[in-house]
Amino acid sequence: MRISYESLVFGFVLLFSECSTLWFMSEINASSSSSSIFCIEHERQALLKFKASFKDPSTSYRLSTWKGRDCCQWQDFEYDMEADEVNPSLLKLKYLSYLDLSGKNFHASPVPMFLGSMKQLTHLFLSRSNFSGSIPHNLGNLTNLVLLDLRGIRHLQIDDGIQWISQLQSLQHLDMSYVNLSKAHTLFQVLNMLPSLLQLHLRDCELDNFLESPFLNAFQNMTSLRVLDLSRNNLNSTPLWLEKCNHLVELHLSGNKLDGSIPNALRNLTSLAQLDLSFNNFISPIPSWFFEIYNCNLRVLDLSGNKFSGHLPSWLGKFDKLRTIDLSSNSFIGPIPSSLGNLSNLVELWLSGNHLNGTIPDSFIQLVNLRSLHLEDNNLDGVFPDFLLRDLLSLNKLSLSNNNFHGVLPANTIGQLVNLTSLNLSFNRFHGNIPKSLEKLVNLEYLDLSYNHFSGVIPQSLGQLVHLDIVFLRRNNLQGNIPESFDHIRYLDLSSNALEGSISKLNFSAQSCFYLDLSDNHITGQLPENISDLMPNLLQLFLGKNLINGSIPKSLCKMENLYNLDLSKNKLSGEIPNCWRKGQSSCVINLSSNKLTGAIPSSIGNLDSLASLHLNDNSLQGELPLSMKNLKNLMVLDLGENQFSGTIPTWMMDSCPLLHILRLRQNNFSGNIPSQLCQLSRLQILDLGSNNLLGPIPDCIGNLNAMAFKNSSDNAIMPLATSYRYFELSLSVEWNREELKQVMKGRELDYTSNLQFLVNLDLSNNNFSGSIPEGITALTGLQGLNLSHNHLFGEIPERIGDMKSLESIDFSQNHLSGTIPNSMSKLTGLGHMNLSYNNLSGKIPRESQLLTLDNPLFYIGNPYLCGEPLQKKCPGEEVDQALAESNGEEDEDGKHDDLEKIWFYFVVAVGYATGFWISIGLLFFKKNWRHAYFRWGEKVADKIYVSIALKAAKVKKMMEGNSVDE
């Protein structure tokens, strides 16, 4: 028996969905012969009492149906209704056999004892209802129970044993997923006492390998299982008894630590219809016994997220019952076997995230039942597969993203795929116009053509697709105006094109827009004064790099949900409005590179969730308002290139413990560096260059912990890590993806997307005096150190060689004396150095890394410095090496460039991996993402659900991971 209750748990549950199984059935039969059926009065009263125990029943649409005498017409109320506890009035319902309390919030009250006396219960659902404490053991008295669902009760404790479960002798279906069972050491002994158990769901229960028993027969009763879900635990081997479960129809082992080749135990499971081994560490090719064993029954095969390699076996094409194959995120190479075209029952095909090449086989024309085709992130090429269009009329989702497809989209045929809901062709080399015939795809919800070479205007008719919610056309060559008909699109990214038109004329009447990115176009005009009325629900607004002028409208302050605002690189003028209010969710405000004047408004201190503030490159002035000390979550503060004055405020150090980046460059700040600055333990970029600061550099600067450890770039580039961050930050702030100018290696560079890897200290162009503090050498994570153009004297600290991460040093234009420490030659990453115009003396060390830094310009202006690469010979050295010198110079340049390339390549790689997909929208469609959020994702699924205000059941379903049934 397979009770399909998945949809119940994650949909909005109908408590009274099957009235016939409900509480009053037998009494009705006995007492009523009339045609209209009423409830028994005392049961009706009990239900009304139960209704009254919920908070705010008036807000529930469905509870409003709880009136009149016919309880069978009453509907279940909404999923997340709240009550302080389960009202005992339920006890009056003597014949209640089916009780579903899932998803109701009982405010961490204990699971009520009285449930244990409702002996007549056959089905009990308590999943995702906020209970806490331990389960009353008297639930073991419910001997009629066929189904018990305790899934996802977050605070449930089972420390006091689970022995009571063994009394549930009728139990066929047990779900304890997401309950921490790591201490339930007798779990399988207990479960083995349940003679009728058919379905066992123990997903994400933190199970270790203790379920291993040396005795193959010990778990005899388990071997009658039909469905077993042990996914997302910590298993590193499969249980021995598994090989005896030859009735098993469904097996889920995804997200464990299984490795090596697929266990032989699985060879005995000849009845399997559904096999999910995704997200383990299986390696090597798929074993060929797969075909012999599973040929007859297998319908769903999920091997995604492993390390399977080699060519895709052509015998896959013989599994003629298969409906879903997921081989994505592995290391398969070579072409897609054309035999896959024989799988005429195939509904979903996931081959994304491999190294497949060649073209889509012609045989795919036979996949007439195919609804999802995911080929993204491979090396496939060819033109848009026109032939698909002729016969794959069921196709619903098509993703060819991130391959080498090229050519124009076939205008005549693409409109025939009328069932398409999702079309992703991004990151290819398609060109030509966006065909107008896309307007025929009346079911389209999601369209992504970003990162191609599409040109021409955006067809107005696209906006007439009523279901279209998400449109990404980023980075193409599109021109003309933004179609007015786009006003209902929730997620719209048209950035980096050549679109025109006035922002004030845009007709965003829609209340529904969440995400709008028009940055990097030629948009003109003024921001509409009533922008908050036009787009009241906007979460993210990107208008940077356009030609927008005029002032910033005050109504922006009324957009309470707007957490990311980018108006940078426009022609905005006037003052920043002083209207910011508490309760606004602003996380990022970027107003940089405009013509703003005046001071920072004091109301900015009301934005207590502000994490990133970019006001650089404007004409702002005055001192920083004291109210800014309320910005406790500030991570990035960039005020560079303005005319701010006053001293560096000390409140910043006490109030902003999260500060990662502080950039005050090119202002009129004066006074000393306050020693409190050294307390900013997360600070990894400090740029105070080009101000009027004076006094010594405090020795305590060595306490800036974040500059002492180099962040491990290796970890961060792993897809999981980046996506993790990505996702997290789409809720809060992607500080590491922000744009920041930093002078490194003697020139100004724009950093985006890799900021977490940059550790830089720039105090140049001030009036600092005293010596370079020895303490600075503790900053072993520092990549750039610029102290140039100050009045520093004394010697270069001998231990500078400890600063292993240094790539760029600039001490030029000071009064430093003494010799160049030999230890500098240990700085193997050093690609740029400038010691010119000081009083350094003695012979330039010529070892290891310093050998490569042989541009004489690095050393000139030090009259007492001698030896190569300077012309000036040290006393006792012979003339000789003009030739080698010039060669050396070339080499240096070459190397310099190489380093730069690697660096930028890295930037691109990371940027690519993290991507621009801030929008939650993609989550619906990109399974790779789902992969990446694995484990992490679902734990916060609820949170995301709330914060993004995307109340669509789809998200949860997607997060659930293995929901393969369409």
φ/ψ bin of 377: left (φ > 0), alpha (ψ from -120 to 50), beta (otherwise):
left
For CA atoms 665, 666, 672, 674, give the dihedral sign.
negative
Residues 234-273 close enough to bind ligand NAG by CB under 6 A: 243-244, 267-268
CB distance 696 to 670 below 8 Å = no
Report, in Å, the least distance between residue 468 CB and ligand NAG: 35
Q: Between 70 and 292, whose beta carbon lies closer to ligand NAG?
A: 292
Residue choice 161, 358, 574, 801 for contact with ligand NAG (CB under 6 A): 358
What's the CA gap between 604 and 565, in Å, rounded? 14
Report, in Å, the least distance between residue 429 CB and ligand NAG: 16
Q: Between 267 and 935, whose beta carbon lies closer to ligand NAG?
A: 267
Residue choice 53, 102, 105, 141 for contact with ligand NAG (CB under 6 A): 141
Report, in Å, the least distance between residue 964 CB and ligand NAG: 26
Q: Between 141 and 342, whose beta carbon lies closer to ligand NAG?
A: 141
Residues 454-493 close enough to bind ligand NAG by CB under 6 A: none
Compute how many residues bind ligand NAG; rule: CB under 6 A.
19
For CA atoms 848, 852, 855, 857, give the dihedral sign.
negative
Cα 15 to Cα 71, 256, 818: the distances in Å are 12, 34, 83
Q: Which residues of 891-901 are buried (b: 16+ CB within 10 A; e: fewer)?
A: ebeeebeebbe
Report, in Å, the least distance between residue 380 CB and ligand NAG: 9
Q: Between 267 and 872, whose beta carbon lies closer to ligand NAG?
A: 267
What's the CA gap between 109 and 97, in Å, rounded? 23
Is residue 570 involved in binding ligand NAG (CB under 6 A)?
A: no
The number of C-alpha atoms within 13 Å of 71 and in the hemisphere containing its C-beta is 25
Q: Between 154 and 267, whose beta carbon lies closer to ligand NAG?
A: 267
What's the CA gap between 436 and 443, in Å, rounded? 15
Q: Between 380 and 471, whose beta carbon lies closer to ligand NAG?
A: 380
| CB-count exposure of residue 162 (10 Å: 0-12, 13-18, 19+) | buried
Q: What is the DSSP letter of 411?
A: T
Is residue 310 involved in binding ligand NAG (CB under 6 A)?
A: no
Q: Between 336 and 506, whose beta carbon lies closer to ligand NAG?
A: 336
What's the CA gap between 249 and 385, in Å, rounded? 36
Q: Between 161 and 459, whose beta carbon lies closer to ligand NAG?
A: 161
- Binding pattern for the stretch 168-197 against ligand NAG, x by CB under 6 A and - elsewhere: ------------------------xx-x--
Choose among 852, 860, 858, 857: nearest CA to 891: 852
- Tokens 């790539």 sit on residue: 807
Choose among 650, 587, 633, 632: nearest CA to 614: 587
Identity of the residue numbered 684: Q
Is residue 894 involved in binding ligand NAG (CB under 6 A)?
A: no
Each as own residue / partner, the long-range contacts of residues 76-79 (CB below 8 Å, 24 or more positions apart, any chain) are 76/12, 76/13, 76/14, 76/15, 76/16, 76/17, 76/100, 77/15, 77/51, 78/12, 79/12, 79/13, 79/103, 79/104
Report, in Å, the least distance between residue 189 CB and ligand NAG: 8
For CA atoms 603, 604, 608, 609, give the dihedral sign.
positive
What's the CA gap between 343 and 322, in Å, rounded? 7
DSSP for 5-67 reads -HHHHHS---TTS-GGGSTTHHHHHHH--SSS----HHHHHHHHHHHHTBS-GGG-TTGGG--
Report, in Å, the least distance between residue 905 CB and ligand NAG: 22
Q: Between 403 and 836, whose beta carbon lies closer to ligand NAG?
A: 403
Report, in Å, the least distance between residue 281 CB and ligand NAG: 22
Each as own residue / partner, the long-range contacts of residues 868-874 (CB below 8 Å, 24 or more positions apart, any chain) are 868/844, 869/844, 870/844, 874/842, 874/843
| Binding window for ligand NAG (CB under 6 A); candidates: 13-21, 133-141, 528-536, 819-827 | 133-141
Is residue 295 involved in binding ligand NAG (CB under 6 A)?
A: no
Q: Which residues of 78-117 are buried (b: 16+ CB within 10 A; e: fewer)?
A: bbbbebeebbebbebbbebbbbbbbbbbbeebbbbeebbe
Residue choice 120, 170, 309, 357 for contact with ligand NAG (CB under 6 A): 357
Residue choice 120, 122, 134, 138 for contact with ligand NAG (CB under 6 A): 138
Report, in Å, the least distance between residue 195 CB and ligand NAG: 4
Report, in Å, the least distance between residue 349 CB and ligand NAG: 20
Measured at the CA of 946, the angle between CA 942 and CA 952, to 5 degrees, comes to: 85
Q: Between 65 and 268, whose beta carbon lies closer to ligand NAG?
A: 268
Is the bond preceding 845 in cis, omega lying within 30 degrees of 0?
no
Report, in Å, the least distance between residue 287 CB and ligand NAG: 12
Q: Between 200 and 803, whose beta carbon lies closer to ligand NAG?
A: 200
Residue choice 120, 130, 221, 363 for contact with ligand NAG (CB under 6 A): 221
Report, in Å, the least distance between residue 651 CB and ligand NAG: 59
Is residue 140 involved in binding ligand NAG (CB under 6 A)?
A: yes
Report, in Å, the least distance between residue 160 CB and ligand NAG: 12
Residues 539-558 close enough to bind ligand NAG by CB under 6 A: none
- Tokens 């021409």 sit on residue: 456
Is residue 120 involved in binding ligand NAG (CB under 6 A)?
A: no
Residue choice 143, 220, 509, 963 for contact with ligand NAG (CB under 6 A): 220
Is residue 568 involved in binding ligand NAG (CB under 6 A)?
A: no
Report, in Å, the least distance between residue 257 CB and ligand NAG: 24
Q: Between 188 and 837, whose beta carbon lies closer to ligand NAG?
A: 188
Report, in Å, the least distance between residue 220 CB and ligand NAG: 4
Report, in Å, the least distance between residue 219 CB and ligand NAG: 7
Report, in Å, the least distance between residue 312 CB and ligand NAG: 12
Task: Record the tokens describing residue 634, joined without a space.
Answer: 């500030």
Report, in Å, the least distance between residue 359 CB and ligand NAG: 8
Q: Between 289 and 904, whose beta carbon lies closer to ligand NAG?
A: 289
Residues 321-350 close enough to bind ligand NAG by CB under 6 A: 333-334
| Binding window for ligand NAG (CB under 6 A); candidates: 137-145, 313-321, 370-378, 788-796 | 137-145
CB distance 326 to 304 below 8 Å = yes
CA 96 from centre of chain: 44
Is residue 37 involved in binding ligand NAG (CB under 6 A)?
A: no
| Binding window for ligand NAG (CB under 6 A); candidates: 136-144, 466-474, 579-587, 604-612 | 136-144
φ/ψ bin of 334: left (φ > 0), alpha (ψ from -120 to 50), beta (otherwise):
left
Residues 829-888 close enough to bind ligand NAG by CB under 6 A: none
| Binding window for ligand NAG (CB under 6 A); candidates: 134-142, 600-608, 715-723, 914-922 | 134-142
Q: Between 133 and 334, whose beta carbon lies closer to ligand NAG?
A: 334
CB distance 547 to 518 below 8 Å = no
Residues 628-657 close enough to bind ligand NAG by CB under 6 A: none
**Three-class SS state of 464:** helix
CB distance 495 to 471 below 8 Å = no
Q: Which residues of 578-610 are buried (b: 16+ CB within 10 A; e: fewer)?
A: ebbeeebbbbbbbbbbbebeeebbebbbbbebb
| CB-count exposure of residue 880 (10 Å: 0-12, 13-18, 19+) | exposed
Residues 390-409 close enough to bind ligand NAG by CB under 6 A: none
Q: Between 333 and 457, whose beta carbon lies closer to ligand NAG?
A: 333
Report the run of H or E that residue 893 belongs to, with start and end.
helix 882-914
What's the CA gap between 964 and 927, in Å, rounded? 12
Binding site for ligand NAG (CB under 6 A): 116, 137-138, 140-141, 164, 192-193, 195, 220-221, 243-244, 267-268, 333-334, 357-358
